[in-house]
């Protein structure tokens, strides 16, 4: 019996790892295709900088959306919420003359409160998240139309706009790189030390250091590319911070484990002493907070708040998660995958825009890629 | 002429031979039991027979009435007169008995169903089979036992000549089992050949003409039931002689660990209905308290209510080591040192798609890892220890729980609760659907834990288990305590009397 | 169960209290009855459409006719329902600002079948059955934008940012713009280095497209010919980030407040001002005439490729607005206030306040 189980298990691990690499491979292919088609412009530092910038808003929301989906829920209201939060900031600054900080705090506060409300309705009143947030999709869009009287509200504060439009100094970029590399090494050492402490195999420092080479190379390459143009765009920096925090929360905290547990088997989680309801509310609040942050970037980047900002953004975020291997049934998915999904979507937009592909064709291609990605997953599982 | 012959059936999965030259034959009107440990290949063999694994994915011949068959689909197997009733019932709970019987084969004209015919034919069928069922009852309102009968009616409506029953009595009460057996005997007299898969050897011996034992995908032997006894069968199954599977031990009791007073729990959907009615009991450190009773007597509900996991209204007082405690939620109960190995591990116990490690540390995560940041190495070391002490058979702690055998899954659930360092451990049906070897290991572990001073409360539907392990047994009927027996007083007869509510015996 | 029912009733009562009860239909044969105009709008998300809505309502009041306005939230299906509802309410004339030029054809057919005359407002419906098309001279808008650009930037690289490909106006504008630019393209004086229809006229998509176009051409772009102000806002953001705002020509259309501010600051070069009030007034007046079955004196013949026959149209003048004539056009008309337009311009750099 145990032989059968072992066989099955080895097989399963293999396919799921394969799947993560498939998506990375697919992205590399997409990049190479665009690189050749645009005579190199696609992979120029400047375009990569733009590409990251164009990924950041969807990416930040995808990180929060991922947690909601893993917990077995869904949030359809983020696009409308983004418009509302952006509108709140712009109206406070432009129409009522508030400073930048209170306006930004208000936007995030509004988004977090809405997240709490939607999470509360889902968890405590057992209304399906699909319904609660479908209501939100309509209601928050209505709210922003109401409070903005459907007008486009320009934002002129240059400091605020910098959030969306400025780059950080290349020197600061290298300092951040140094900090990041330090962190990678620190965690490698820590792992070796704790493995020694708990007596697992040989404490293999060499192996861990070898494993650190790839991330370190990635960091150096990333900063180098960004600095070859103008430095890291501020939205990208925020996106990276959110992504790293997301990886940490989902992978290294009790809270993160609880999210997976609830999505995997809510009854088993509850009977293991997890407060499912509280976790679900928190997950929605986190997505709210991230939507608020994304709204600030979006508004700063565009330079104004429009009531129709972020339409269909929720679907982009969900698509990013799904392309990255997240199961809509809950319990399965990674932050890395979701970010990869967002990057793939943005790469398609960016590359096709560079190639001047007509709008209808862009939509067809994006739709096909989404279905193909999930199809690949299913075929991979069956074989 | 044999009704059915399966010759040299071999079925391989990637890297493993699930069936290796298995041979089985069945005569008309024969009751043929198929036994073996979990994973021995019984279910695989039946899936080959029923066309779940189509012709070509296995080697060997399936011969029905001297006709070699090559089933591509379940439909074709059905048409050849083979019907299988699987462990998990495949009825649509929202539909009526008659609708289920004719599901997919509704008598219809131009796509319009002739309901009159559906109900007339099904009531005729039920009458023929002496099944006490109303065709218009919604299946979801029936008990598990009656649902089983609907499955049988459905199978026989196909004019099945060969009926395969996979663990049909696992969820049935004694009286339901009796009804079922009466019907099976009736079918036998009509010439239906039956293949019966079960872990319950008493039933196997009560009914069988012949018994075939499978081990590791091979036929170990086919013998007349008269030529075998239980010990011989078990020996054939495990390939070794087994002594008494309940190790004789005496437990030393300490102080009272948990006391429950006047616990009452109401049905969450029917707020006036009491599922647990004024139950009081206590359990001491080092004691194993068995809770017996029939299905629906309120045993699991009692444990759920104590554990703070009951969704309906409940009342009563709980004392842990003499101090009054309030359990508003499972996490409160865990905080007081209560652990709960729930029934139905796939539904309540495990997250099947996650690893052994993730499952093992879930309940005790904050104790093992720290309250916010998890500590992987600590978790690994804790999981490794508990896997070793419970002898979980798996490659590593990173094995996906869903790929384990039933016994190993059960050990993982047990391990999860041991990692919370409980003082009191609730066990709800701890050995359901697992093989004899694993059962024995779990029994030994229960005794070991009691010796270490844990108070253990065990709900079980298997009387031998309750009698073999418990220092004391309380019996529930209709939510109330109808009997309490010490180890010496307890006999199967007394417990069954109390469980059926025949008489109230308190000693 | 009872509690649920109770809650449901409470909510139902609450909701119906919030929604204004429909007014009585009145007897259609009553000669003293007020004329009732139905106006099926597509959107009021953009500020300009709100101006349409306000102006339309106001002029109806002035002319002492009833009006019923619906908004379809950018959805063709909702607009079809809106039209059904308006017809049910017994309107005398139907004015449609269509979401989709083709899908609206069936709405026209339905109204005509009930004997209700139809006015196609601002955007053209591809149906020869409409009674009159009231709009600005859309082809003229496209032409004016292109001519303006060509005059200011006679040579160089052009990027064309068109509106939604589902919007007839966007298609017409593209055609007219290219008609003007084609000779210069052929002679090699200008080069169109990128052109794109932008889904739903979205600001952010225009921003991304501008960024990508700048990357593709290493900033060597002299003009962005943008079809409306919302998208121009996105393009200007992309330029600002590169420090190019004000150095590259950016066109627009609609004279939105934020666009006028950008023009005052010098970041956007021009926009097209389509006086909304005259448009709404013309539509209301035409509707009244149609209801009374009087001839439309000011209508002229209009030809469009999408429609087989000539139709009647009332087309109003449009005006180019740039930094030089802000004061004499939009501000003078009272369309926007001086303070609103110059809010971001230091006091000493503003023109004198009127």
Which helix H or strand E contains B67, and what residues bound it?
strand B67-69
Which range among A78-87, A179-188, A275-284, B430-439 shows the weakest confidence by mean pLDDT? B430-439
Per CB-CB distance under 8 Å, the chain B contacts of A254 are 365-366, 369-374
Query: Is A311 within 8 Å of chain C by CB?
Result: yes
Q: Do A264 and B351 touch (CB under 8 A)?
A: yes
Give the rounded percent of residues in chain C with a pLDDT score beyond 70: 91
Each residue's pLDDT tens digit, A313-343? 999 999 999 988 888 899 989 999 999 999 9
Q: Is the predicted pLDDT of residue A21 greater than 50, yes or no?
A: yes
Task: Calculate the alpha carbon distances from A95 to A103, A156, B29, C255, C343 in Å.
Answer: 11, 11, 89, 20, 11
Residues of C in Cβ contact (< 8 Å) with A161: 240
- Comparing alpha-carbon positions, the chain A residue that sits nearest to C45 is A150
Looking at residues C323-343, what average pLDDT do you find? 90
pLDDT at C14: 61
Query: Where does residue B57 fall: left (phi above 0), alpha (psi -120 to 50 degrees), or beta otherwise?
Result: alpha
For the stretch A114-159, pLDDT in tens is: 999 999 999 999 999 999 999 999 999 999 988 988 778 888 888 9
- Residue range B411-428, pLDDT digits in tens: 999 999 999 999 999 999
DSSP string, B245-261: SS--------SEEEEEE
Residue with tokens 């009997």: B483
pLDDT tens column, C105-162? 889 998 998 899 999 998 889 888 999 999 988 778 999 999 999 999 999 999 999 9
Length of chain B as a residue count = 507
Asked if A95 reaches chain C (Cβ–Cβ under 8 Å), the answer is: no
Question: What is the reported pLDDT for A201?
Answer: 60
- Which burial class, exposed, middle or buried, applies to B465 when counting CB atoms under 10 A from its CB (0-12, 13-18, 19+)? buried
- Residue A265 touches chain B, beta carbons under 8 Å: yes
Optimal mutation site among B365, B388, B439, interface A, most CBs of chain A within 10 A: B365
Convert the pLDDT of each residue in B229-258 to its tens digit. Answer: 887 887 787 765 445 667 666 777 889 999
**pLDDT higher than threshold 70 for residue C4:** no
Model confidence at B295: pLDDT above 80? no
C-beta separation of C112 from C293 below 8 A: no
**DSSP, res A331:** S
Residue A13 has pLDDT above 80, yes or no: no
**What pLDDT, on a 0 to 100 scale, did the predictor assign at position C24?**
45
Write down the pLDDT at residue A203. 59
Report yes or no: A139 at the C interface, CB cutoff 8 Å.
no
The answer to ipTM > 0.90 is: no
A residues 37..76 contacting B (CB < 8 A): none
Q: Are B446 and B290 in contact (CB under 8 A)?
A: no
Chain B positions in Cβ-Cβ contact with residue A9 (cut-off 8 Å): 394-395, 399-400, 403
Chain A hits for B307, Cβ within 8 Å:
271
**Exposed/middle/buried for C138, CB within 10 Å: 0-12, 13-18, 19+?**
buried
pLDDT band at B16 (very low <50, low <70, confident <90, very high): low
Q: Which residues contact B438 (CB under 8 A, 6 or more apart)?
A: B38, B405, B406, B407, B408, B410, B411, B431
How big is the A-C interface in CB pairs under 8 Å?
Answer: 101
Q: Is A267 on the interface with C (CB under 8 A)?
A: no
Q: Which residue of A has its CA nearest to B419?
A: A272
Q: Is A152 on the interface with C (CB under 8 A)?
A: yes
**Chain A interface disruption, residue of C164, C204, C227, C265, most A CBs within 10 A:** C204
C85: pLDDT strictly greater than 50: yes
Beta bridge partners of A304: A154
Task: Dump pLDDT digits (tens) for B123-137.
Answer: 888 888 777 788 888
Contacts from A100-103 at CB under 8 Å and sequence distance 24+? Answer: A100/A157, A100/A159, A100/A160, A103/A160
pLDDT for residue C21 is more than 50: no
pLDDT of C2 strictly over 60 = no
Residue located via tokens 């384990």: B404
CB nearest to C47's CB, from A151, A311, A360: A151
Q: Rounded to whole angstroms, how far apart are CA atoms B230 and B224? A: 13
Burial classification of residue B263, based on how many CB atoms lie within 10 Å of its CB (0-12 exposed, 13-18 middle, 19 or more buried): buried
What are the φ/ψ torsions at residue A193 (nearest 5 degrees)? Answer: -60, -45
- Counting one residue from A and one from B, how many pairs have CB atoms under 8 Å apart? 132
pLDDT at B478: 85
> Which residues on chain C are in Cβ contact (under 8 Å) with A38?
216
Q: What does each C-alpha distance from C324 to C263, C271, C343 come to in angstroms?
A: 9, 12, 17
- Least confident segment among A308-317, B143-152, B395-404: B143-152
**So what's the pLDDT on residue C8?**
65
A156 has a chain C CB within 8 A of its CB: yes
The verdict on a CB contact (< 8 Å) between B374 and A253 is yes
- Cα–Cα distance for residue pair C166/C198, rounded to 1 Å: 10
Cβ of C50 within 8 Å of Cβ of A150? The answer is: yes
Per-residue pLDDT at C18: 54
Average pLDDT estimate for A161-177: 92
Inter-chain residue contact A359 with C197, CB threshold 8 Å: yes
B328 touches chain A (CB under 8 A): no
Q: Which of A305, A310, A307, A309 is nearest to A91 (CA)?
A: A305
- Cβ(B359)–Cβ(B419) under 8 Å? no
Q: Please indicate whether, in this complex, the C-beta atoms of A304 and C233 are within 8 angstroms of each other.
A: yes
Nearest-angstrom CA–CA distance, B266 and B273: 5
Query: B379 and chain A: CB distance < 8 Å anywhere?
Result: no
CB B221 within 8 A of CB B247: no
Dist CA C287 CA B415 (whole Å): 80
Lowest-pLDDT range, A69-78, A369-378, C259-268? A369-378
Q: Quick check: A354 and C215 CB within 8 A?
A: yes
* Interface check A382 vs B, CB under 8 A: no
CB C42 within 8 A of CB C71: yes
Rounded Cα distance between C30 and C32, Å, is 6
CA dihedral sign of residues B112, B116, B119, B121:
negative
Calculate the average pLDDT of chain B: 86
Contact B358 A273 (CB under 8 A): no
| Parallel, antiparallel or unpaired: strands B256-266 and B274-284 | antiparallel
Does B485 touch chain A if contact means CB atoms closer than 8 Å?
no
Nearest neighbour of A353 by CB, restricted to C74, C196, C257: C196
C2/C344 Cα distance (integer angstroms): 60
CA distance A201 to chain B (A): 12
Please count the other Cβ atoms lying within 10 Å of the Cβ belonging to residue C52. 22
Distance CA C281, CA A142 (A): 29
Q: Hey, which residues does C272 pair with through a beta bridge? A: C320
Q: How far is A141 from chain C (nearest CA, A)?
A: 11
Contacts of C233 in chain A (CB under 8 A): 152, 154, 302-304
Residue from B356, B310, B365, B371 nearest B334 by CA: B365
């Amino acid at each position: 019996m145990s032989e059968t189980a072992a066989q099955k298990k080895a097989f399963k691990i293999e396919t799921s790892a394969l799947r993560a690499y498939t998506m990375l491979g697919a992205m590399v292919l997409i990049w190479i295709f665009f690189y050749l088609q645009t005579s190199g412009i696609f992979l120029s530092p400047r375009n990569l900088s733009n590409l990251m910038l164009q990924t950041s808003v969807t990416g930040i929301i995808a990180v929060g959306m991922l947690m909601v989906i893993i917990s077995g829920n869904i949030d359809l209201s983020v696009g409308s919420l983004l418009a509302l939060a952006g509108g709140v900031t712009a109206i406070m600054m432009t129409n009522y003359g508030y400073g930048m900080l209170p306006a930004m705090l208000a936007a995030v506060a509004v988004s977090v409160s809405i997240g709490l409300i939607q999470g509360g309705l889902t968890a405590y009143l057992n209304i399906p998240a699909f319904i609660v947030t479908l209501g939100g999709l309509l209601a928050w869009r209505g709210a922003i139309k109401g409070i903005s009287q459907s007008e486009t509200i320009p934002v002129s504060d240059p400091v605020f706009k910098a959030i969306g439009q400025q780059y950080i100094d290349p020197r600061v970029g290298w300092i951040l790189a140094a900090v990041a590399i330090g962190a990678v090494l620190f965690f490698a050492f820590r792992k070796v030390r704790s493995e020694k402490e708990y007596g697992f195999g040989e404490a293999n420092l060499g192996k861990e250091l070898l494993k650190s080479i790839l991330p370190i190379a990635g960091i150096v390459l990333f900063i180098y590319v960004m600095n070859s143009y103008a430095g890291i765009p501020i939205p990208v920096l925020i996106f990276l911070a959110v992504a790293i925090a997301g990886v940490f929360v989902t992978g290294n905290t009790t809270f993160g484990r609880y999210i997976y547990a609830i999505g995997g088997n809510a009854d088993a989680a509850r009977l293991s002493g997890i407060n499912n309801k509280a976790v679900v509310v928190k997950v929605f609040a986190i997505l709210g907070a991230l939507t608020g942050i994304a709204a600030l970037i979006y508004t700063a980047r565009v330079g104004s708040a429009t009531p129709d900002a972020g339409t269909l953004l929720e679907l982009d975020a969900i698509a990013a998660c799904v392309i990255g291997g997240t199961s809509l049934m809950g319990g399965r998915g990674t932050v890395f995958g979701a970010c990869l999904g967002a990057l793939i979507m943005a790469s398609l937009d960016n590359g096709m825009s560079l190639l001047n592909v007509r709008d209808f064709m862009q939509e067809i291609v994006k739709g096909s890629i989404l279905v193909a990605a999930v199809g690949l997953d299913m075929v991979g599982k069956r074989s | 002429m044999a009704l059915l012959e399966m010759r040299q059936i071999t079925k391989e999965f990637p890297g493993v031979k699930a069936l290796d030259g298995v041979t089985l034959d069945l005569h008309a009107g024969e009751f043929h039991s198929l036994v073996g440990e979990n994973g021995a290949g019984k279910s695989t063999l039946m899936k080959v027979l029923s066309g779940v694994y189509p012709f070509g994915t296995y080697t060997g011949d399936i011969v029905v009435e001297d006709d070699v068959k090559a089933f591509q689909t379940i439909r074709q197997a059905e048409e050849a007169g083979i019907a299988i009733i699987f462990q998990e019932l495949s009825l649509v709970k929202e539909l009526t008995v008659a609708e289920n019987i004719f599901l997919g084969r509704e008598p219809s004209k131009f796509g319009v169903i002739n309901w009159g015919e559906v109900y007339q034919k099904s009531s005729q069928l039920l009458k023929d089979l002496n099944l006490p069922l109303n065709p218009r009852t919604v299946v979801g309102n029936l008990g598990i036992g009656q649902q089983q009968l609907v499955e049988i009616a459905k199978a026989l409506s196909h004019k099945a000549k060969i009926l395969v029953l996979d663990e049909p009595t696992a969820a049935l009460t004694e009286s339901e089992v009796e009804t079922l057996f009466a019907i099976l005997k009736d079918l036998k007299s009509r010439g239906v050949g039956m293949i019966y898969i079960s872990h319950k050897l008493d039933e196997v011996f009560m009914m069988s003409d012949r018994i075939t034992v499978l081990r590791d995908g091979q036929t170990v032997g086919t013998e007349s039931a008269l030529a075998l006894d239980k010990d011989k069968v078990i020996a054939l199954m495990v390939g070794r002689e087994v002594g008494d599977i309940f190790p004789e031990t005496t437990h030393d009791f300490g102080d009272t660990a948990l006391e429950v007073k006047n616990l009452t729990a109401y049905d969450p959907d029917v707020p006036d209905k009491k599922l647990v009615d004024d139950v009081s009991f206590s359990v001491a450190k080092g004691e194993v308290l068995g809770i017996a009773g029939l299905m629906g007597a309120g045993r699991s509900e009692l444990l759920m209510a104590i554990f703070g996991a009951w969704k309906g209204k409940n009342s009563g007082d709980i004392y842990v080591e003499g101090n009054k405690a309030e359990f508003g939620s499972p996490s409160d109960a865990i905080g007081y040192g209560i652990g709960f190995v729930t029934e139905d591990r796939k539904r309540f116990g495990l997250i099947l798609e996650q690893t052994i490690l993730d499952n093992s540390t879930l309940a005790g995560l904050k104790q093992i890892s720290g309250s916010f940041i998890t500590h992987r190495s600590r978790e690994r070391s804790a999981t490794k220890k508990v896997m070793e002490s419970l002898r979980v058979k798996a490659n590593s702690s990173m094995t996906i729980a869903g790929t384990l055998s039933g016994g190993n899954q059960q050990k993982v659930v047990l391990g999860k609760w041991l990692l919370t360092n409980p003082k009191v451990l609730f066990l709800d049906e701890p050995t359901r659907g697992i093989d004899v070897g694993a059962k024995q290991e779990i029994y030994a572990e229960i005794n070991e834990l009691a010796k270490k001073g844990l108070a253990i409360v065990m709900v079980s539907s298997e009387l031998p288990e309750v009698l073999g392990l418990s220092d004391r047994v309380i019996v529930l009927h209709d939510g109330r305590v109808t009997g309490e027996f010490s180890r010496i007083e307890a006999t199967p007869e007394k417990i069954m009397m109390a469980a059926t509510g025949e008489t109230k015996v308190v000693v | 169960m009872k509690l649920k029912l109770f809650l449901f009733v409470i909510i139902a009562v609450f909701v119906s209290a919030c929604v204004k009860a429909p007014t009585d239909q009145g007897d259609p044969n009553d000669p003293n009855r007020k004329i009732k105009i139905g106006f099926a709008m597509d959107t009021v998300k953009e500020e300009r459409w709100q101006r349409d809505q306000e102006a339309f309502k106001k002029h109806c009041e002035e002319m002492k006719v009833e009006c019923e306005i619906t908004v379809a939230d950018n959805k063709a299906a909702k607009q079809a329902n809106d039209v059904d509802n308006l017809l049910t309410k017994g309107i005398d004339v139907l004015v449609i600002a269509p979401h989709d030029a083709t899908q609206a054809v069936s709405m026209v057919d339905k109204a005509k079948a009930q004997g209700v005359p139809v006015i196609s407002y601002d955007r053209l419906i591809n149906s020869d059955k409409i009674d009159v098309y009231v709009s600005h001279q859309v082809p003229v808008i496209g032409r004016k934008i292109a001519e303006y650009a060509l005059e200011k930037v006679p040579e160089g690289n052009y990027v064309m940012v068109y509106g939604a490909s589902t919007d007839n106006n966007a298609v017409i504008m593209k055609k007219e713009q290219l008609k003007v630019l084609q000779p210069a393209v052929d002679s090699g004086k200008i080069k169109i280095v990128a052109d794109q229809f932008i889904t739903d006229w979205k600001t952010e998509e225009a921003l991304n497209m501008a960024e990508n176009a700048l990357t593709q051409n290493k900033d060597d772009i002299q003009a962005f010919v943008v079809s409306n102000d919302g998208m121009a806002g996105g393009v200007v953001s992309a330029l600002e980030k590169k420090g190019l705002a004000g150095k590259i020509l950016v066109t627009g259309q609609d004279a939105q407040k934020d666009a006028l501010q950008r023009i005052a600051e010098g970041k956007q070069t021009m926009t097209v001002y389509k006086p909304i009030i005259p448009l709404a007034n013309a539509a209301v007046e035409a509707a009244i005439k149609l209801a009374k079955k009087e001839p439309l004196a000011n209508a002229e013949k209009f030809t469009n490729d999408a429609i087989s026959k000539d139709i009647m149209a009332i087309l109003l003048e449009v005006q180019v607005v740039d930094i030089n004539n802000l004061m004499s056009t939009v501000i003078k008309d009272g369309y926007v206030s001086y303070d609103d337009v110059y809010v971001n311009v230091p006091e000493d750099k503003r023109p004198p306040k009127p």
